[in-house]
Chains A and B, each alone.
Chain A
């Protein structure tokens, strides 16, 4: 998944066999919009420090902050310092900090402020001469999507969207990528008016996780899984992303959006695509994308959405030993809100490989525990040469990919219980990432930011994938909109009754993750 630029191939000190040498990004800088937000402080800034600490940023790398604050460069440096101190993954080292801090600049201003964007252009030009960033800059929009249009418009107007000569300009955005198909298209239009689609990097931080990338390695580097990976052997697939917390202080963002738009549309659809896709001809961005798009475009919703989807809102109660308020009592949530905090859908993939194998996707807040996993549940053996009492405790075999926390993989199968009687019971076989490759795995944001700077696109979804996902979800959202209030569910458990009923209708049950 690497993209060797022309400079690399002629560099006599580079050798593809030299795997000790890390890929260091070329000369470049990052312009960060929304420096005061949670995303910037908790994820982006620490990831930049961690990259520098691992020696992966080029000498002269510069970070420009842009916000409506009356700050000098030093004040900005202080903010970055605090966020790094609090949230960086690797230890704090003075010399690394020194290297970074020289490249900090701050531009105060509003998104509609022409003077500020002029100043931004001057700052970038100054950095190109004093720091050698070579005209290569990425614009990281850690701001609400409603401002994307203003910012990219300003970037274009002030000649910031195109670099001098063959220098690159890239734009990085975070979810939500719209709230339905139409708004996603509008958003894409806004961006594509200014930046070509290969310069737009949409961050889905799940795709930066090692375990998610390992789905591809597991499926396509091994001989023993792929033969089972089809409707002959797989009964169904469950993809779960659960959080034990409520919405916290994110009412403004969350209300009106809800869990299906927040999680299913992006993270879970991407996970499903990776689990279900055919083998790509290579691991470059175009081939991967092609296979993901093929899967997404073969997804068909069941006819009766009332029987095959579920949604809910967490009620007040006790979760994990603490008394918690219900969604409707959360701060700044209107008591009439119909926003879903739990959503589950059943999807069918109409291909030869997956015909008749439903994919159940669920997500929710205030559930039993924080967990994300993909469970591939196999059919029972077609014939059991044992009596039913002997296999009473044997359920279906399953392969569970644990995305977070405790990353790894579990295989569940039946085994004889020691003793004179033949009795078969489920056992688990475990592979823990933490036990085999401890500590090397970098934070998803480090990987993704480095990929942006290297211009390496395989882990970033393009607008086609985003739009296909909305196309799948839109009818479900429309169906729910007609149905009024979501069902209340008990906090700290595994969602509303309708979610359990939805699987029971198919003769299945949700796993307890």
Chain B
């Protein structure tokens, strides 16, 4: 770990090269730059998740901690290579006037040619694509479920400000549910008349799942509350009876469908590194998420 105080981008870049040479391999096998915009108190968790995700996507990870904007500008950085990281990492702390110009610190540190992703583990900007750091990236990842205030509306505001390249981890969390629901209709090619979702009271994932079902199936989707964890039941009503997936423990679901016996199926809630790894697998626009976000906004307006 190289500690730099009152430094600048070129010194950080030089530290990267130095660190790589020290590690014995000056060649770069990294596939992207991941910028994490994070508060001091969750920085450790976020960097840990990025470290785990870097197993699958070797990246230059730039953690940017935006501090107090008052006073003289300070840029401090810890630059590290190796020790559990597949790529390389810098944790950059900004304070003073430079917090308004975080992009000026990050821009020179982006890897040539390869894609840039930015991730806000807790409080995302209202319009990520218009954010100066967000504008540097082709992929912008938010997490409405981790918003510290205005939780119920966080996902709506993210969907309203949708721009190509945006996704929310609330969407990533329902991939397994969506896969299972799609598979259930492969097995029962029936017309769905109505759908319902039961979940925790505040669940951006359930909101998105409802919007997705409504968008794809063109049917009304009811919502009910439970004590969780997360989404606990999804029902698709068909003329032959309901297709029902119930999961009360966040791990093992029961799959019931018309004319078939109930079957257990693993449906585990995934943790942050797995979610992040899935997000980083696709670096282009997610069109299905775009359509779902549009539908969620339209449904919200109707109410």
Partner of B58, one of A95, A96, A438: A438
Q: Which residues of A contact B216 (CB under 8 A)?
A: 12-13, 15
B255 and A59 form a contact (CB under 8 A): yes
A436 proximal to B (CB < 8 A): yes
The 8 Å CB contact of B189, one of A11, A53, A440, is A11
Contacting pair A8 B186 (CB below 8 A): yes
B266 at the interface (CB under 8 A from A): yes
Chain A residues near B267: list those with CB within 8 A. Answer: 55, 95
Asked if B81 is at the interface of the complex by the 8 Å CB criterion, the answer is no
Classify chain B's interface size: 35 or more
Q: Is B282 close to A, CB under 8 A? A: yes
Known: A14-B182, A430-B27. A60 touches B268 (CB 8 A): no
B151 close to A (CB within 8 Å): no
- Would you call B31 and A58 a contact (CB within 8 A)? no
Choose among B183, B264, B282 the residue that contacts A58 (Cβ–Cβ < 8 A): B183
The answer to the question of A20 belonging to the interface, with a C-beta cut-off of 8 Å to chain B, is yes
* Contact of A24 with B252 in the complex, beta carbons under 8 Å: no
A59 adjacent to B263 (CB under 8 Å): yes
Q: Is A398 an interface residue (CB 8 A)?
A: no
A19 surroundings in chain B (CB, below 8 A): 282
Asked whether, in the complex, the Cβ of A13 is within 8 Å of the Cβ of B178, the reply is yes
Identify B260's interface contact among A12, A132, A437, CB under 8 A: A132
- B278 partner residues in chain A, CB cutoff 8 A: 20
- Tell me whether B189 and A7 are in contact (CB under 8 A): yes
Interface hits, A218-262 → B, CB 8 Å: none
Per-residue interface assignment for chain B, residues 54 to 77, with 1 indicating a CB less than 8 Å from any chain A CB and 0 otherwise:
011110000000000000000000
> Which of B179, B184, B252, B257 neighbours the largest number of chain A CB atoms within 10 Å of its CB?
B179
Residues of B within 8 A of A322 (CB): none
Q: Report A13-59 residues with CB < 8 Å from chain B CB.
A: 13-15, 17-22, 24, 26-27, 52-53, 55, 58-59
B181 to chain A, nearest CB (A): 6
Contact A20/B264 with A11-B189, A99-B252 known, Cβ cut-off 8 Å: no
In the assembled complex, which residues on chain B have CB atoms less than 8 Å from the CB atom of A53? Answer: 266
Confirm or deny: A130 has a beta carbon within 8 angstroms of a beta carbon on chain B: yes
The answer to whether B86 touches A438, judged by C-beta atoms less than 8 angstroms apart, is yes
State whether the Cβ of A10 lies closer than 8 Å to any Cβ in chain B.
yes
Q: Which of A81-121 contact B (CB under 8 A)?
A: 93, 95-96, 98-99, 102
Interface centre among B192, B266, B282 (most CB of A within 10 A): B266
Q: Of B183, B213, B251, B261, which is within 8 A of A24 by CB? A: B183
- Please determine whether B288 and A15 come into contact, CB atoms closer than 8 angstroms: yes
Task: Give the residue of A12, A55, A132, A440 whose beta carbon is less than 8 angstroms from that of B179.
Answer: A55
Which residues of the other chain, A, contact B175 by a CB distance below 8 angstroms? 20-21
Which B135-191 residues have C-beta < 8 A from chain A?
Answer: 172, 175-176, 178-187, 189
Q: Which residues of A are found within 8 Å of B56, using beta-carbon distances?
A: 437-440
Residues of B within 8 A of A436 (CB): 29, 31, 58
**Are the C-beta atoms of A21 and B265 separated by less than 8 Å?**
no
Judge if A432 is at the interface, Cβ distance under 8 Å.
Answer: yes
Binary contact track A417-437/B, C-beta < 8 Å → 1, others 0: 000000000000011100111
User: Which residue of A15, A20, A27, A432 is within 8 Å of B282 (Cβ)?
Assistant: A20
Instruction: Report the count of interface residues on A (CB-CB < 8 A).
Output: 44
B217 at the interface (CB under 8 A from A): yes
A296 to chain B, nearest CB (A): 36
B288 touches A24 (CB 8 A): no
Within B264-292, the residues touching A (CB, 8 Å) are: 264-268, 278, 281-282, 286-288
CB distance from B209 to the nearest CB of A (A): 11
Check A55–B29 contact: CB distance below 8 A: no
A179 close to chain B: CB less than 8 A: no
Kindly report which residue of chain B lies nearest to residue A15, judged by CB atoms. B288
User: Which residues of chain A have C-beta atoms less than 8 A from B176's C-beta?
Assistant: 55
**A435 & B29 in contact (Cβ 8 Å cutoff):** yes
Interface pair B217/A13, CB less than 8 Å apart = yes
Query: A99 CA to B263 CA in the complex, in Å?
Result: 7
Interface contact B189-A102, CB-CB below 8 Å = no
**A24 / chain B contacts, CB cutoff of 8 Å:** 179-180, 182-183, 186
* A28 to B47 alpha-carbon distance, docked (Å): 42
A13 to B29, CA, bound (A): 37
Tell me whether A353 is interfacial, beta carbon within 8 Å: no
A134 within 8 Å of B (CB atoms): yes
Q: Does A131 sit within 8 A of B, measured CB to CB?
A: yes
A438 touches B186 (CB 8 A): no
Contact between B182 and A96, CB atoms less than 8 A apart: no
Which of B29, B180, B287 lies in contact with A432, CB distance below 8 A?
Answer: B29
Is the beta-carbon distance between B260 and A60 smaller than 8 angstroms? yes
Instruction: Give the residue name and chain of the B residue nearest to A130 (CB).
Output: B261
- A132 CB contacts on chain B under 8 angstroms: 187, 257, 260-261, 263
* Contact among A98, A430, A432 for B264, CB-based, below 8 A: A98
A52 touches B266 (CB 8 A): yes
Whether A12 lies near B217 (C-beta < 8 A) is yes
* Interface flags, B213-254, vs A, CB<8A=1, else 0: 100111000000000000000000000000000000001100
**A residues within 8 A CB of B180?**
24, 55, 59
A55–B268 alpha-carbon span in the complex (Å): 10
The minimal Cβ–Cβ distance linking B297 to chain A, given in whole angstroms, is: 19
Interchain CB contact under 8 A, A439 and B265: no
- Cβ–Cβ contact B260 & A55, under 8 A: no
For residue A247, give the distance in angstroms from its CB to the closest CB of chain B.
Answer: 36
Known interface pairs A11-B189, A132-B187, A435-B86; A21-B31 also in contact (CB < 8 Å): no
Contact residues in B for A26 (Cβ distance below 8 Å): 186-187
Name the residue on B nearest A25 (C-beta). B183
Contacts of B178 in A (CB 8 A): 13, 18, 20-21
Chain A: which residue is nearest B54 at the CB level?
Answer: A438
In the assembled complex, which residues on chain A have CB atoms less than 8 Å from the CB atom of B181?
Answer: 13
Please tell me if the beta carbons of A55 and B182 are within 8 angstroms of each other in the complex. Answer: no
Question: Which residue on chain B has the smallest CB distance to residue A12?
Answer: B216
Residues of A within 8 A of B187 (CB): 26-27, 58-59, 132, 134
Question: With the chains together, A268 CA to B204 CA distance in Å?
Answer: 52
Q: Are A102 and B263 in contact (CB under 8 A)?
A: yes
Residues of B within 8 A of A52 (CB): 266
B93 nearest CB across to chain A (Å):
29
Closest CB in chain B relative to A166 CB, distance in Å: 13
Given A13-B217, A59-B255, A60-B260: A99 and B266 interface contact (C-beta under 8 Å): yes
Per-position 1/0 for B103-145, Cβ under 8 A of A:
0000000000000000000000000000000000000000000
Nearest neighbor of A132 in chain B, beta-carbon distance: B260
Interfacial residues, chain A to chain B (CB-CB below 8 A)? 5, 7-8, 10-15, 17-22, 24, 26-27, 52-53, 55, 58-60, 93, 95-96, 98-99, 102, 129-132, 134, 430-432, 435-440
20 A-B pairs (CB sep. < 8 Å):
A11-B189, A12-B185, A12-B217, A13-B213, A14-B182, A14-B186, A17-B288, A19-B282, A59-B180, A59-B183, A59-B187, A59-B263, A60-B263, A93-B268, A95-B266, A131-B263, A132-B257, A132-B260, A134-B187, A438-B58
- A-B interface, 6 closest residue pairs, ranked by CB to CB distance from nearest: A435-B29, A95-B252, A13-B182, A132-B260, A96-B266, A95-B266
Extra A-B contacts (16), CB below 8 Å, given A15-B216, A20-B178, A53-B266:
A7-B186, A7-B189, A8-B186, A12-B218, A13-B217, A19-B282, A52-B266, A59-B263, A60-B263, A93-B266, A95-B266, A99-B265, A132-B261, A436-B31, A438-B55, A440-B56
